Each structure stands twice: as C-alpha cells, then as structure tokens.
Amino acid sequence: MNIRTLDDLLAEEVKGRRVLVRADLNVPLDKQTGQITDDGRIRAVLPTLGALVQAGAKVVVCSHLGRPKGSPDPAFSLRPVAGRLGELLGAPVHFAEDTVGDSARSTVAGLADGQVALLENLRFNPGETSKDEAQRGAFADQLAALADAYVDDAFGAVHRRHTSVYDVPARLPHVAGRLVLREVEVLGTLTGEPDRPYVVVLGGSKVSDKLAVIEALLPKVDRLLVGGGMCFTFLRAQGYEVGSSLLEEEMVETCRSLLERADGKIMLPVDVVAADAFAPDAPHDTVRADGIPSKRVGLDIGPETVAGFAAALRGARTIFWNGPMGVFEMAAFAHGTRGVAEAIANADAFTVVGGGDSAAAVRALGLDEQAFSHISTGGGASLEYLEGKTLPGIAALEN
C-alpha cells in the first residue's frame, strides 16, 4: 500500500498550518434527549487529533452524522459532538454553524496554533453525497479552501464515494490518520494469512447485507457461525418454519446454495428464544430451531447454540465478529450476544469486532473493550474491506 501517513505529515512542519481531518463522528444519539449514547468513534480519533494539536497545527475536523437529506436539520447537528470532543481533548473545540460558509471560514481563520474546530455536518450540503461529479467537485473546492493539508481518519466512511473522503484528497496534500492505518493493518491480517482456525461470527438483521461478505469469506474461514435476525432465512433454507421471525423470502434459495457449497463450515442455531411479540416484556421461551411456533418471533439465539458457538470459538486462533446475535437492546434477548461476545473475549486468539452495532453492543453490555484485539469503527467499511472491494476513501489516499 502506497499511502503517506500522519507521521510523514508531522515530519514536515505542520505548526501554524491548517489541517483538515475527515473523521467519522457518526455516533448514536438518544432520540429523546439528543445525548451521545456511545462515544467510541470520538475516542477513536483522539490519537490523530492529539498528535496534530501537539505539533501546533490548526486542526479543522469535519464529519457526517446520520443521514440528513442535503440541508440543515437540527436533529443531526454535530454541536453535541463538539462538546464531547472538547471534554476528551481537554480543550474547547470551536464549533462552526455551517460546513463551508461564513461561520466555517471565520472559525478557521480565528484558530490559534494547536486549536481545534469542528465544522457542521457535511451532509447538510447536497454536494457531499451527490452522484454528480461537478457538484461534488464544487463542494470539494470549498472544503479544500479551508485547509493546507488533509488527513483521512474516517475509517467508517472510507467505503463511501463522498466528497469529503474521495474528492477533497485530490485537492490537498493527503495522508492517512492513525485510526485508518490501524484499521487497514488489522483487516489486512484477516484477508492475508490469518492464524487458523479462523472463525467468523455473523449476525445482524439482513442476509442481503452480508451476502457478498459471506461469499468472500467462505473459502477463507474454517467456521462461519450465523446468528441474529439473518439466521432465520438460513433456517428456512434448511426447510424449517420460522414463525413470524425476520425472513428474507427472496434470499432463501441463495442461502440454500450457500449451505450446499459451505462444506459444513456454516453453523446455524439449534435453539432460539421465541417471543409473543417484538417487545422487551413479551412472554418468551427457548425452542428448538426446527420448532418455532407459527405465531412467535425469534429474537435471540438459545443457550445450547451459545454453548456450541462458544466451543467453536474456544479453539480459534483468529476471530472476526460482525453483528449482534439477537435484540441485545432488550435485556431478555441479550444473552446470545453477551455469551458470544464473552466467548470471543476469552478466546486465545486475535479477535476483531467489526461494525457499529457489535462495537456498541460490547460497550452497552459493559464488556471490557481491552479483551478484544481490535474493535473496528467501521461497519459497512470493514465488511467491504473483507469482501476485497476497492474502498474509495483508501484509493483516494493512494494517488
């Protein structure tokens, strides 16, 4: 990989220079209070920001948050993130009310050496996600005009061909930040020659989202454990009734063919927790995977499945996990995710947690983050990396 790094940039003089850092500060917010519920992505970018502050750069941070539709929407403002970032950095973060307008220009102009500004949500501008090259180009020019150099530390967004990750680096001296480098190094181990047995655990709601990665991983892994909402389409493909559990009918054939080609590598649940409704207090029981009552909905993998998965994980030397095993946000249906997470944490293996949801699950369940070798900040990005796809944000740094 032919990419210049933050250390290369620091080796040049950055004191007094304006450095634009694309971060992925797309953190979950509480719908009622607007409070940040998991600041993992903010903490993940601190090493890069800290190094630039230390070196006396004028640091201009930009990010998206959520999916606003190309115009300002207070529900997706980055303002609360500026506050939290300032607390974590131990110095106030200047917040610009817009991304490339008057407020952004004057905020950046007012920065002293070693100070940090955060621009308002990139996606408040239609140019950020536009498919139109000219529109993206015009927005890229405006962003690039705010800085003298560009650092990409937004690993969670490198799979997007968006202006701030793809077009801006073409206009400024550009390097990869510490987080992007670490992510690429870790995921590179998985696509290279991982220590065996190599076991992958996949969950989450949709098979269709994971199909490409399953195809790419099957030849490489020794075991593929499938839980979460997506397991029901596989169970259906085995001929089982799944009641009112999540089911992607149009994926059943695909799952059947995957099972045929998998040579027994795919492990499916043997029992599931089936409930009367999708609700935290719904009556529920553990049932056999081939005996889900027709009116019930599977919301977690069962204890026997957890034990089987844990046994497979115990002997692994490399583990990648993406996607919760059940509706872990509801205590009654969090046992599967917790059990699998604990088995991964306890394995004597190189362990990588990929994905916003699984990373959030680790923290929400109060598990020790240090017990995992690496917790990726990228959901879609880590999956596309493992699929072997070219990631626009990485390709842009290579040029």
Catalogue the active-site residues. Answer: 41, 206, 356, 380
**Pairing of β 297-301 and β 271-275:** antiparallel
Residue list 339-398, contact with Mg ion (CB under 5 A): 380
User: What's the closest the beta carbon of residue 35 comes to ligand 3PG, in angstroms?
Assistant: 18
Q: Any residues with CB less than 8 A from the CB of 334 and at least 6 apart, and which?
A: 300, 326, 327, 328, 365
Closest alpha carbon to 194 in 372, 24, 351:
351
Stretch that binds ligand 3PG, among 154-162, 221-229, 261-269, 279-287 (CB under 6 A): 154-162
CB 262 within 8 A of CB 357: no
CB of 338 to ligand 3PG, least distance (A): 23
Question: Which of the ranges 48-56, 135-143, 152-160, 189-197 carries the binding residues for ligand 3PG, by CB under 6 A?
Answer: 152-160
Beta strands in the chain (DSSP E): 18-23, 58-62, 93-95, 116-118, 149-153, 174-176, 198-202, 223-226, 266-267, 271-275, 284-288, 297-301, 318-322, 350-354, 374-375
27 or 247: CB nearest ligand 3PG:
27
Report the nearest approach of ligand 3PG to the CB of residue 147 (Å): 21
Q: Kindly tell me which of 298 and 379 has the beta carbon lying closer to ligand 3PG.
A: 379
Min dist. Cβ of residue 75 to Mg ion (A): 17
**68 binds ligand 3PG per the rule CB under 6 A:** no
The binder of ligand 3PG chosen from 24, 120, 357, 387 (CB under 6 A): 24
Is 115 a binding residue for ligand 3PG by CB under 6 A? The answer is: no
Q: How far is the CB of 183 from Mg ion (least distance, A)?
A: 15
Q: Which of 204, 379, 392, 393 binds ligand 3PG (CB under 6 A)?
A: 379
Q: Which is nearer to Mg ion, 70 or 380 (CB)?
A: 380
Q: Which stretch binds ligand 3PG (CB under 6 A): 53-61, 131-139, 155-163, 367-375?
A: 155-163
Tell me: does residue 393 bind ligand 3PG (CB under 6 A): no
Taking the least distance from each CB to ligand 3PG, the nearer of 24 and 387 is: 24
Nearer to ligand 3PG, 18 or 160 (CB): 160
**Cα 68 to Cα 74: distance, rounded to the nearest angstrom:** 9
Residue 26 binds to ligand 3PG (criterion: CB under 6 A): yes
User: In this chain, which of 157, 343, 347, 394 binds ligand 3PG, going by CB under 6 A?
Assistant: 157
Alpha-carbon gap, residue 103 to 132, rounded angstroms: 26
Q: Which is nearer to ligand 3PG, 16 or 40 (CB)?
A: 40
Only one residue has tokens 């999956």, namely 383
Q: Nearer Cβ to Mg ion, position 175 or 360? A: 360
Strand partners, 21: 61, 151
Coil vs helix vs strand at 93: strand
**In the stretch 160-189, what mask flags binding to ligand 3PG with x, by CB under 6 A?**
x-----------------------------
CA 218 – CA 254 distance, rounded (Å): 14
180: enclosing H helix or E strand = helix 178-191
**67 near ligand 3PG, rule: CB under 6 A:** yes
Sign of dihedral through CA atoms 308, 275, 335, 366?
positive
Query: How many of the other CB atoms lie within 10 Å of CB of 367?
Result: 18
**Cis before residue 47, ω within 30 degrees of 0?**
no
Give the integer Cα–Cα distance in Å for 212 and 387. Answer: 7
Q: Give the CA dihedral 76, 92, 144, 131, nearest 10 degrees.
A: -10
Considering only residues 306 through 365, tell me which ones interact with ligand 3PG, judged by CB under 6 A: 356
Rounded Cα gap, residues 300 and 231, in angstroms = 10
Tell me which amino acid residue 209 is: D
81-120 mask for Mg ion (x: CB under 5 A)?
----------------------------------------
Query: CB of residue 153 vs ligand 3PG: minimum separation in angstroms?
Result: 13
Give the phi and the psi of residue 205 in degrees, each rounded to 5: -85, -35
Q: Which residues bind Mg ion (CB under 5 A)?
A: 380
Q: Which residues bind ligand 3PG (CB under 6 A)?
A: 24, 26, 67, 156-157, 160, 356, 379-380
